[in-house]
Chain A
Amino acid sequence: MVDAARHPKIDVRTYTNVERVEGYVGNFKVQLREKARHVLADRCNGCGECSKACPIEVPNYFEMNLAPRKAAYVPMSQSVPLRYTIDEEACIHCYKCVDACGALEAIDFSQEDKVVWEDIGSIVVATGFNHFDPSVIPEYGYGRYPNVITAMEMERLNNSAGPTTGNLIRPSDQKNPQRLAIINCVGSRDKRFNPWCSNFCCMYAIKNAVLLKQMNPELEISIYYMDIRTPSKGYEEFYDRARSMGIRFIQGRPSLITEDPQTKNLFVHSEDVVLGKISELEYDMVMLNQAAVPQPDVDTVSSVLNITQSPGGWFMEYHPKLRPVDSPTDGIFLAGACQGLKDIPSSVSSGLATASRAGRILHSDEWEIEPIIAQVWEDRCVMAQGKVCGVCSRACPYGAIVIEEGKAASVTVAKCHGCGGCVAECPHNAITQMHFTDAQVLAQMRALLADRPEEKIFAFRCHWCSYGGADLAGTSHFDYSANERGIRVMCSARMDPDFIYEAFRLGAGAVLYSGCHPQDCHYITGQRVGATRADRLQKLFEKLEMTSGRFRIEWISAAEGDKYSRVINEMQKVIDNIPHDQLMAEIERLRPEMEKRARRMYETPGVDKALVYSDEMVQAITAKEVKSGA
């Protein structure tokens, strides 16, 4: 901690929030809000006179609210930096601190939040985790029984720097407990609350037991567990040590804690599963080893940084094995528990790994990004003909399209991230996206729907989420109908209505329109552009009396392989439930309407060639099918 503050290259900004992030790899702009501490950092010498003078006491979060702090405070005596903060919410403006500070004149009540912008090349996200509140589990009585405490409270109670200077006492009568129970997996591995294993709690229970036993060998300690997980170097040996110290391990998850109202002692009810017998043992104190959960503001961080989440609320890595500290956004990296729960050695390792990954970029003079950006055909843009438009500019999440009266729209290359929203939105097909042109997509669609299209489920997937979801379905071997045929574009914003019309015109049995969840979008608001359009399409198809379920909208993240598989199978059922001749009749009935609507796409430059080529392709495919079928 102190090293970080002293390092000449590190600028520590505490009491500061990240509010906005713009830009792209190598060129991020980050907006920070430095909250007003009402203390001038360059004048405060950390003497603490203000705190002594302050008459207000509030619970200190750092001590798990077991001890008070003043309104003028540092969370702990070893705070880094050692600068006092005046808590605006608790302060009654008596100004005793100002007098106490005296000639230093470090306290300034006129200070306001400061908003600054910083230019940054690469960002490491290390926002950590939060503690589960066990009071929502009624059977353990946390909050009702004074002598049931959480692991973090225990951490402060047996800490020599804590409120009791390391003297472990029972909250009910301040006596030292003689019998202590530690209960593992409180809120973890529990489908009612958090299904995951919180990773470090087994070792954490053992650590506390060993520490307490060292301090007081007379203390009887029992650890209730379901499984003990000690998979790292030296951990199993540590577990052995705990056993040899006489710490009792009881396999069985307690179902209930009851309290003796007189003594405030506690009875832990469990089955000892090894014996197959129920036990009700009496303890003076119970420590709940609570689950670790994502930070409460994880959704805000997600949307500020445009990084996606895995189930449960952990930030999603680019690849779980090969690129575990990269976020899907180039130049943003994930360190520590915010990506998934880690103990201290693993958190440090991942922190160091991000430094190396970010260093690759930051030591380069320039960085290469994929050229899959939007480009305008100036002769097709109606703005150039003096008409009013600007649809493309409104669809762009990055403000990358410049609109000037009388001039064709133009794309600022460095700002364009290549979602393709503008391309799909342009009513005149005057914009294209490199590597995902209309001609390319059209040629692909025709090839996929060449043979018996009415049996096919045609799926449009965005690269970052639903394509990844489909990958995960395969990796996990969640079988789904082999009639699925998919096309990948970068974002659901690129899924041009013309593509959907064309898919139905070609006779597709069903069409899936899928992308990320709104808060996960890799392109800020790209998904919203896609979603608005998809809803419009849905309404249109309802009006055209298309069988419901043939067009389906689903938002599927890269972590939802099971969902992808389920959705495809459900769509297969929709097709199966329509009698074949009825389906064919519906396809024929809608074809002229679809053709009318898709027609405009055929005028797009390059598409004419795609049509000729794909006709050849379709001929070759169907001819070949006939031959191999014979």
Chain B
Amino acid sequence: MAEQKPEDELRIGVYICHCGSNIAGVIDPAEVAEWASHLPGVVRATDTLYACADSGQTLIKEDIKKYNLNRVVVSACSVRMHETTFRAAVSEAGLNPFLMEMANIREQCTWAHGHDKDGALRKAKDLTASAIAKARFLNPLTMIKVPVTKRAMVIGGGVAGISAALDLADQGIETILVEKEPTIGGVMAQLNKTFPTMDCSI
């Protein structure tokens, strides 16, 4: 395991996204930011209208330099949505991308608790605190590079599979087209004419 460095001073930046009214319509991001600013290790906490927009990303990048941040927490949407965006943003500012942590206060908070604003606020604070706590123990990591076998396989010889195989092959990629029946063609080969142009299916 990459040894944790003898602790440099912990300098966490926290960004609470409004996401327009998606988050700010239910809770006050500024209140969460103010609250988070008192947590251990947090040197910068602010709200931002759209963290994923150019302005939001620029703010984070500038802050990393200005406040000498070594961890970044973004309280915004799902990691399935924007984790790559913010990883790229912090790495452009010279921080290891794995030193960024997200808290999901949109899908899993304001969108799910729109009718319980107090509950949503308490949860948004807790989720942010939890991300800050994880950020404290994040380690810089590097992506693992793996070689690529330059061959493709398409499973299913219907119209979609044939299209995929032809395009891959035209890109110069050796492609295996696998079909369980004795002929390719799939359902489309069984059809008479096809709509709306009434051309032949084969």
Complex contact flag A–B (Cβ < 8 Å): yes
Bound complex: CA of A443 vs CA of B167, how far in Å?
Answer: 49
SS class, residues of chain B in contact with chain A:
mixed
Which residues of chain B from 159 to 188 have any CB-CB distance to chain A below 8 Å in the complex?
159-188
CB distance from A223 to the nearest CB of B (A): 14
Q: Does A354 lie at the interface of the complex (its beta carbon under 8 Å from any beta carbon of B)?
A: yes
Which residues of chain B from 114 to 129 have any CB-CB distance to chain A below 8 Å in the complex?
114-116, 119-120, 122-123, 125-127, 129
B184 & A126 in contact (Cβ 8 Å cutoff)? no
- With A158-B192, A359-B168, A484-B123 known to touch, is A9 a contact of B182 (CB < 8 Å)? no
Enumerate chain B residues within 8 angstroms of A487, measured Cβ to Cβ: 130
The answer, among B149, B156, B164, B170, for a CB contact under 8 Å with A119, is: B149
Q: Does B56 lie at the interface of the complex (its beta carbon under 8 Å from any beta carbon of A)?
A: no
Enumerate chain B residues within 8 angstroms of A439, measured Cβ to Cβ: 137
Bound complex: CA of A352 vs CA of B79, how far in Å?
Answer: 28
Q: Does B61 lie at the interface of the complex (its beta carbon under 8 Å from any beta carbon of A)?
A: no
B108 & A119 in contact (Cβ 8 Å cutoff)? no
CB distance from B60 to the nearest CB of A (A): 20
Enumerate chain B residues within 8 angstroms of A203, measured Cβ to Cβ: 195-196
B159 & A336 in contact (Cβ 8 Å cutoff)? yes
The answer, among B112, B164, B179, for a CB contact under 8 Å with A124, is: B164
A128 & B195 in contact (Cβ 8 Å cutoff)? no
Enumerate chain B residues within 8 angstroms of A8, measured Cβ to Cβ: 169
A-B contact pairs, 5 of them (CB 8 A): A27-B147, A80-B185, A443-B130, A443-B137, A445-B130
Q: Which residues of B contact A (CB under 8 A)?
A: 1, 4, 35, 38-41, 78-80, 98, 104, 106-116, 119-120, 122-123, 125-127, 129-134, 136-139, 141-198, 202
A14 & B130 in contact (Cβ 8 Å cutoff)? no
The answer, among B111, B113, B148, B198, for a CB contact under 8 Å with A365, is: B148
Q: Does A525 lie at the interface of the complex (its beta carbon under 8 Å from any beta carbon of B)?
A: no
Enumerate chain A residues within 8 angstroms of B154, measured Cβ to Cβ: 123-124, 126, 335
- With A16-B178, A155-B192, A471-B104 known to touch, is A620 a contact of B39 (CB < 8 Å)? yes
Bound complex: CA of A81 vs CA of B182, how far in Å?
Answer: 8
A12 & B141 in contact (Cβ 8 Å cutoff)? no
B107 & A617 in contact (Cβ 8 Å cutoff)? no
A336 & B161 in contact (Cβ 8 Å cutoff)? yes
The answer, among B40, B150, B159, B173, for a CB contact under 8 Å with A344, is: B159
Enumerate chain A residues within 8 angstroms of B149, measured Cβ to Cβ: 26-28, 119-121
Enumerate chain A residues within 8 angstroms of B183, measured Cβ to Cβ: 14, 62, 74-76, 79-81
A124 & B182 in contact (Cβ 8 Å cutoff)? no
B202 & A78 in contact (Cβ 8 Å cutoff)? yes
Which residues of chain A from 1 to 30 have any CB-CB distance to chain B below 8 Å in the complex?
1, 3-5, 7-18, 24-28, 30
Bound complex: CA of A487 vs CA of B126, how far in Å?
Answer: 11
A362 & B156 in contact (Cβ 8 Å cutoff)? no
CB distance from B133 to the nearest CB of A (A): 4
Residue in A closest to B164 when the chains form the complex, CB atoms: A351
The answer, among B38, B123, B143, B146, for a CB contact under 8 Å with A27, is: B146
Bound complex: CA of A439 vs CA of B4, how far in Å?
Answer: 12
CB distance from B30 to the nearest CB of A (A): 14
B137 & A606 in contact (Cβ 8 Å cutoff)? yes
- With A355-B163, A367-B146, A480-B112 known to touch, is A204 a contact of B195 (CB < 8 Å)? yes
Enumerate chain A residues within 8 angstroms of B129, measured Cβ to Cβ: 447-448, 450, 617, 621
Q: Does A250 lie at the interface of the complex (its beta carbon under 8 Å from any beta carbon of B)?
A: no
- With A18-B155, A126-B164 known to touch, is A13 a contact of B177 (CB < 8 Å)? yes
Residue in A closest to B139 when the chains form the complex, CB atoms: A434
The answer, among B131, B165, B173, for a CB contact under 8 Å with A362, is: B173
Q: Does A285 lie at the interface of the complex (its beta carbon under 8 Å from any beta carbon of B)?
A: no
CB distance from A249 to the nearest CB of B (A): 16
CB distance from B2 to the nearest CB of A (A): 8
B142 & A371 in contact (Cβ 8 Å cutoff)? yes
Bound complex: CA of A522 vs CA of B171, how far in Å?
Answer: 30
7 closest A-B pairs by beta carbon, nearest first, are A336-B160, A482-B119, A351-B163, A126-B161, A355-B167, A474-B107, A474-B111
A351 & B159 in contact (Cβ 8 Å cutoff)? yes
B182 & A83 in contact (Cβ 8 Å cutoff)? yes
Bound complex: CA of A152 vs CA of B114, how far in Å?
Answer: 48
Bound complex: CA of A606 vs CA of B166, how far in Å?
Answer: 53
Q: Does A134 lie at the interface of the complex (its beta carbon under 8 Å from any beta carbon of B)?
A: no
Enumerate chain A residues within 8 angstroms of B174, measured Cβ to Cβ: 9, 11
Bound complex: CA of A347 vs CA of B159, how far in Å?
Answer: 7
- With A24-B146, A238-B196, A613-B136 known to touch, is A348 a contact of B151 (CB < 8 Å)? no
Bound complex: CA of A17 vs CA of B198, how far in Å?
Answer: 33
Q: Mark A470-495, 1 if CB is under 8 A from B, else 0.
A: 11111101111111111110000000
- With A5-B184, A348-B159 known to touch, is A124 a contact of B145 (CB < 8 Å)? no
Q: Does A265 lie at the interface of the complex (its beta carbon under 8 Å from any beta carbon of B)?
A: no
CB distance from B192 to the nearest CB of A (A): 4
Q: Mark A315-350, 1 if CB is under 8 A from B, else 0.
A: 000010000000000000101111000111001101
Q: Mark A362-394, 1 if CB is under 8 A from B, else 0.
A: 111111111111010100000000000000000
Enumerate chain B residues within 8 angstroms of A373, measured Cβ to Cβ: 144
A152 & B195 in contact (Cβ 8 Å cutoff)? no
CB distance from B129 to the nearest CB of A (A): 4
Bound complex: CA of A121 vs CA of B147, how far in Å?
Answer: 9
- With A474-B107, A485-B126, A614-B133 known to touch, is A375 a contact of B1 (CB < 8 Å)? yes
Enumerate chain A residues within 8 angstroms of B127, measured Cβ to Cβ: 448, 485
Q: Does A129 lie at the interface of the complex (its beta carbon under 8 Å from any beta carbon of B)?
A: yes
Max chain A C-beta neighbours (<10 A), residue from B144, B155, B169 = B155
The answer, among A348, A613, A617, A628, for a CB contact under 8 Å with B160, is: A348
B113 & A120 in contact (Cβ 8 Å cutoff)? no
Residue in A closest to B149 when the chains form the complex, CB atoms: A121
Enumerate chain A residues within 8 angstroms of B161, measured Cβ to Cβ: 124, 126, 128, 335-336, 351
- With A123-B155, A159-B192, A207-B194 known to touch, is A75 a contact of B181 (CB < 8 Å)? yes
Which residues of chain A from 206 to 236 have any CB-CB distance to chain B below 8 Å in the complex?
206-208, 210-211, 234-235
A351 & B167 in contact (Cβ 8 Å cutoff)? yes
Residue in B closest to A369 when the chains form the complex, CB atoms: B144
Max chain B C-beta neighbours (<10 A), residue from A4, A301, A565 = A4
Q: Does A609 lie at the interface of the complex (its beta carbon under 8 Å from any beta carbon of B)?
A: yes
Enumerate chain B residues within 8 angstroms of A81, measured Cβ to Cβ: 183
Enumerate chain A residues within 8 angstroms of B189, measured Cβ to Cβ: 1, 62, 76, 78
Bound complex: CA of A359 vs CA of B177, how far in Å?
Answer: 16
B107 & A12 in contact (Cβ 8 Å cutoff)? no
Q: Does A432 lie at the interface of the complex (its beta carbon under 8 Å from any beta carbon of B)?
A: yes
CB distance from B71 to the nearest CB of A (A): 12
Enumerate chain B residues within 8 angstroms of A76, measured Cβ to Cβ: 183, 185, 189
Q: Does A178 lie at the interface of the complex (its beta carbon under 8 Å from any beta carbon of B)?
A: no
Max chain B C-beta neighbours (<10 A), residue from A123, A362, A440, A445 = A362
Bound complex: CA of A368 vs CA of B142, how far in Å?
Answer: 10
B152 & A128 in contact (Cβ 8 Å cutoff)? no
Q: Does A92 lie at the interface of the complex (its beta carbon under 8 Å from any beta carbon of B)?
A: no
Q: Does A413 lie at the interface of the complex (its beta carbon under 8 Å from any beta carbon of B)?
A: yes
CB distance from A210 to the nearest CB of B (A): 8
Enumerate chain A residues within 8 angstroms of B179, measured Cβ to Cβ: 12-16
Which residues of chain A from 425 to 471 have any CB-CB distance to chain B below 8 Å in the complex?
432, 434-435, 437, 439-441, 443-448, 450-451, 463, 467-468, 470-471
